[in-house]
Chains A and B, each alone.
Chain A
């Protein structure tokens, strides 16, 4: 039997594409080389990291802030085994959920490593070495990414680890060095810093989360420092030595002098590389760019007609929800529909606490393009609910077109920003003006009032509570 669609990889890109295709009455196969479904995101990415972030934040609250609420805890105890075990259970529940969804949608799950043999044929080699072959009219490559490392410092998974190992350490380390202050570095750095680890983050650029709006990087940097994390910004790592009992990382400071940092582990968080190992790209006309990302056209079709690629493996924002949108996009196009992805309206979130979230243009981008814009900001400390919750650290910043008042970007740092950004995404998709949001009722007292106030400030500098 021939499938209408074969999806290689069961991450958020792949499994969502498969479900959408089944909804559209296609006969679908999904192929996954790992024993569990869900890809990076569910197994070693979004979900386990959030489980540990939530647990460790509870611990920090109990350790540092319960007293302010008048709650005494006696001697606080951390049981890492239970904390880590809960994370494993969360992952387990989630990946089983995907298996259920595949079954419910009558999607054939093939376990094994997929290699493209030609236009429509795919060989699947299982863990037991058994090889099978399937054929499919269309193929989606959703093979995702793997942690990247540096030419002189290769991940050994023992001392020099990636996020995957960092999510499953045997014990809470005393000292941890992290290379890279991007989203993953800041999130996992926060987890361990909250649990008492001395965390040192080295970053080549001059700010944490350098791709996001600069205000956010600045605010997050302050908050990480307050958590006890040492941030070495503008530092260039030149050597990592794993020979001794401790890992030693040598970096050149902006002034030119070398600093040496040591840790029980060094976590490499310098980004992720596309994963296309043994995928058989040489057997088809699929081409990659110099960094290994699969090249696609605006329909996400590769140079080989009928073979598409989505998610981390094609680059762009390496986010689960971006991969999902692309999966739905490709499948709906296959069904003759005409969907559209607005890449400007894909939000970015950093799940530290306070959280960081942003969507649309950053202020730096607007400056660079000489766009006339205006800014409206509103601090959490002026927000009743934030004070009530003991969460006064934070700011919401709205960027709007100077003439049309159209919202061009929204950036938030503060409690619950991850959830609050959704409203800004809707605003962007509907091309709302700052005044539009300002004229929409927001429940009181909530954190979302900060967005309304920032919009009032952007409209004509008339925030009510400032």
Chain B
């Protein structure tokens, strides 16, 4: 019998909420199967089985417990072939039916997901307990029910619409296109029934923390935003020309993110205040760049950090992003991997944003917002031409960054990206 205790999601966290059971009581689980998810002020993590056996759940979903509490046991003596049936919870409906025509107890269908519903719930990181009431026969969870549950926002699953970058507890929400192209970001859809229904849901600990921090950033910094636009023609040409070779050579796709990262790290050399932070009455300058780059995780956006991005090659940047994105998708990022950034890049373009003002992630003093690339007519040498253009925005803390610095920095980033050769020449 293996005892599974609630792990600590990071230093200084003593209480967590078991948000979700991913397997049912009585299920046979294999080693490494994900068992449950915990949610704290800092992060959401999933806990996997360290051995195979039959699961016995001791703490129901939604309960807040101390780190170290016994969450479940795994009976390692049982083998896959001898799984006892999931315990039937006597439902109130059944009690009422007693004495009715059929004396036979039917299987409790509630919490049983149809094959398609099961897949949808897994992908959304949800379980049947997220479906209020199964609408199928006997309360079975149907595909429709699963879709609804999957699309109901939970823990900042969707960034607040007008601001692409919302700070998560551990950082702002920067976005890169981490998921494969064929996985469109899911958007919640509520069915209007014509009735005046209001739904109330408890904010999760994570969401509460996010809210608190967002407001505090506004109140404790002097945040301003500067804008510019980038003609992406050259960069797109370079990428088009070399993306296959690059991939062959480095086994990783060549994206725009690596160019942006390098453009930023090079520019920061000239504007150290942009990479600094305020601590009490001191300014802390960082002579290195730890770049926060947000990726899509099952429960929302997280911001892992690329350490020493200033000394990485383009390929190393792409590889590191890919590695962190994979860890994020599997809920494997540790708190350490998500803290300590000195600067952040956020990409609202993934959602189609044309222009927005990202919000700072203290103690960082600046954040760059990338946006959608769109063909637009612009004037070049007195001629109207059509070019792939991207607006960029940088929000900065005016307390330590002057207007001259912020604007100069962003212009430099723009110049690097419009002429990627300059990155190479470092001019």
List chain A positions with a Cβ less than 8 A from chain B: 1-2, 24-25, 120, 135, 137, 297-298, 335-340, 342, 365, 368-371, 401, 403-406, 429-433, 435-436, 459-460
What is the distance, in angstroms, from A366's C-beta to the closest C-beta of chain B?
Answer: 10
B138 partner residues in chain A, CB cutoff 8 A: 436
Q: Which residue of A lies closest to B88 (CB)?
A: A404
**Given A365-B81, A431-B112, does the pair A405, B105 have CB atoms closer than 8 Å?**
yes
B182–A25 CB distance below 8 A = yes
B384 partner residues in chain A, CB cutoff 8 A: none
- A338 interface neighbour in B82, B102, B112, B122, Cβ under 8 Å: B122
| Chain A to chain B contacts (Cβ below 8 Å), 16 pairs | A2-B244, A298-B30, A335-B180, A336-B179, A336-B183, A337-B183, A365-B81, A371-B82, A404-B85, A404-B88, A430-B115, A430-B140, A431-B107, A431-B112, A435-B106, A460-B103
Q: Which residue of A lies closest to B182 (CB)?
A: A25
Interface flag for B32 (CB, 8 Å): yes
- A404 interface neighbour in B108, B114, B123, B248, Cβ under 8 Å: B108
- B105 interface neighbour in A2, A298, A404, A436, Cβ under 8 Å: A404
Query: Hey, what's the 0/1 contact readout for B344-385 against A, CB within 8 Å counting as 1?
Result: 000000000000000000000000000000000000000000
A370 to B78, CA, bound (A): 12
B116-132 interface (Cβ within 8 A of A): 118-119, 122-123
B180–A401 CB distance below 8 A = no
A431 to B140, CA, bound (A): 9
B183 partner residues in chain A, CB cutoff 8 A: 335-337
A338 partner residues in chain B, CB cutoff 8 A: 119, 122-123
A460 partner residues in chain B, CB cutoff 8 A: 102-104
Q: Which residue of B lies closest to A120 (CB)?
A: B251
B103 partner residues in chain A, CB cutoff 8 A: 460
What is the distance, in angstroms, from B121's C-beta to the closest C-beta of chain A?
Answer: 9
A336 to B177, CA, bound (A): 13
A395 to B108, CA, bound (A): 28
A305 to B248, CA, bound (A): 18
A433–B84 CB distance below 8 A = no
A459–B84 CB distance below 8 A = no
B24-50 interface (Cβ within 8 A of A): 30, 32-33
A123 to B384, CA, bound (A): 52
**Given A24-B182, A430-B114, A436-B138, does the pair A403, B105 have CB atoms closer than 8 Å?**
yes
A369 to B105, CA, bound (A): 22
A160 to B140, CA, bound (A): 54
B106 partner residues in chain A, CB cutoff 8 A: 404-405, 433, 435-436
Interface flag for B163 (CB, 8 Å): no
Interface flag for B3 (CB, 8 Å): no
Binding site of A, secondary structure by majority: helix, strand, loop or mixed?
Answer: loop
B105–A431 CB distance below 8 A = no
A298–B107 CB distance below 8 A = no
- B329 interface neighbour in A336, A371, A431, A436, Cβ under 8 Å: A336
Give the number of residue pairs across the A-B interface with Cβ within 8 Å.
83
B115 partner residues in chain A, CB cutoff 8 A: 340, 342, 429-430
A120 to B248, CA, bound (A): 11
B107–A405 CB distance below 8 A = yes
A359 to B147, CA, bound (A): 29
**Given A2-B247, A337-B123, does the pair A435, B137 have CB atoms closer than 8 Å?**
no
What is the distance, in angstroms, from A430's C-beta to the closest C-beta of chain B?
Answer: 6
B82–A369 CB distance below 8 A = yes
**Given A336-B329, A429-B114, A433-B106, does the pair A2, B122 have CB atoms closer than 8 Å?**
no
A406–B85 CB distance below 8 A = yes
**Given A25-B182, A336-B179, A430-B114, does the pair A436, B82 have CB atoms closer than 8 Å?**
no
A401–B122 CB distance below 8 A = no
A429 partner residues in chain B, CB cutoff 8 A: 114-115
B329 partner residues in chain A, CB cutoff 8 A: 336
Counting chain A CB atoms within 10 Å of each CB, the highest count among B88, B115, B119, B181 belongs to B115
**Given A338-B122, A339-B119, does the pair A459, B179 have CB atoms closer than 8 Å?**
no
A135 to B248, CA, bound (A): 9
A460 to B103, CA, bound (A): 9
**Given A436-B137, A459-B104, does the pair A430, B123 have CB atoms closer than 8 Å?**
no
A401–B85 CB distance below 8 A = yes
What is the distance, in angstroms, from B184's C-beta to the closest C-beta of chain A?
Answer: 11
What is the distance, in angstroms, from B130's C-beta to the closest C-beta of chain A?
Answer: 15
**Given A298-B30, A337-B123, A436-B137, does the pair A369, B108 have CB atoms closer than 8 Å?**
no
Binding site of B, secondary structure by majority: helix, strand, loop or mixed?
Answer: loop
8 tightest CB-CB pairs across the interface, nearest first? A338-B122, A406-B107, A404-B107, A369-B82, A433-B107, A338-B123, A433-B106, A431-B112
Interface flag for B109 (CB, 8 Å): yes
* New A-B pairs, 4, CB < 8 Å, besides A365-B81, A436-B138: A2-B247, A338-B122, A340-B122, A429-B114
Counting chain A CB atoms within 10 Å of each CB, the highest count among B107, B123, B329 belongs to B107
A31 to B414, CA, bound (A): 47
A298–B33 CB distance below 8 A = yes
Q: Which residue of A lies closest to B180 (CB)?
A: A336
B102–A435 CB distance below 8 A = yes
B118–A371 CB distance below 8 A = no
A431 partner residues in chain B, CB cutoff 8 A: 107, 109, 112
Q: Which residue of A lies closest to B30 (CB)?
A: A298
What is the distance, in angstroms, from A302's C-beta to the closest C-beta of chain B?
Answer: 15
A431 to B117, CA, bound (A): 13
A298 partner residues in chain B, CB cutoff 8 A: 30, 32-33
A404 to B181, CA, bound (A): 44
- A371 interface neighbour in B84, B107, B180, Cβ under 8 Å: B84
A432 to B112, CA, bound (A): 10
Query: Hey, what's the 0/1 contact readout for B160-203 against A, CB within 8 Å counting as 1?
Result: 00000000000000000001111100000000000000000000
What is the distance, in angstroms, from B213's C-beta to the closest C-beta of chain A?
Answer: 29
A365 to B109, CA, bound (A): 24
A25 to B137, CA, bound (A): 36
Counting chain B CB atoms within 10 Å of each CB, the highest count among A2, A25, A340, A404 belongs to A404
A370 to B79, CA, bound (A): 13
B85-115 interface (Cβ within 8 A of A): 85, 88, 102-109, 112, 114-115
B81 partner residues in chain A, CB cutoff 8 A: 365, 368-369
A339 to B33, CA, bound (A): 14
A404 partner residues in chain B, CB cutoff 8 A: 85, 88, 105-108
A342 to B116, CA, bound (A): 12
What is the distance, in angstroms, from A428's C-beta to the closest C-beta of chain B?
Answer: 10
**Given A430-B114, A460-B103, does the pair A403, B88 have CB atoms closer than 8 Å?**
yes
A406 partner residues in chain B, CB cutoff 8 A: 85, 107
What is the distance, in angstroms, from A80's C-beta to the closest C-beta of chain B?
Answer: 44
A137 partner residues in chain B, CB cutoff 8 A: 251
What is the distance, in angstroms, from B291's C-beta to the closest C-beta of chain A?
Answer: 24
A435 to B30, CA, bound (A): 31
Q: Which residue of A lies closest to B32 (CB)?
A: A298
A404 to B247, CA, bound (A): 55
A135 partner residues in chain B, CB cutoff 8 A: 248
B105 partner residues in chain A, CB cutoff 8 A: 403-405
Counting chain B CB atoms within 10 Å of each CB, the highest count among A337, A368, A430 belongs to A430
What is the distance, in angstroms, from B87's C-beta to the closest C-beta of chain A?
Answer: 9
A403 to B26, CA, bound (A): 15
Counting chain A CB atoms within 10 Å of each CB, the highest count among B85, B112, B122 belongs to B85
A435 to B94, CA, bound (A): 15
A337 to B182, CA, bound (A): 10
A324 to B47, CA, bound (A): 31
- B119 interface neighbour in A335, A336, A337, Cβ under 8 Å: A337
What is the distance, in angstroms, from A359's C-beta to the closest C-beta of chain B?
Answer: 14
B311-338 interface (Cβ within 8 A of A): 329
What is the distance, in angstroms, from A381's C-beta to the closest C-beta of chain B?
Answer: 27
What is the distance, in angstroms, from B80's C-beta to the closest C-beta of chain A?
Answer: 9
B179 partner residues in chain A, CB cutoff 8 A: 336
A25 to B138, CA, bound (A): 38
A406 to B32, CA, bound (A): 28
B30 partner residues in chain A, CB cutoff 8 A: 298
What is the distance, in angstroms, from A133's C-beta to the closest C-beta of chain B?
Answer: 13
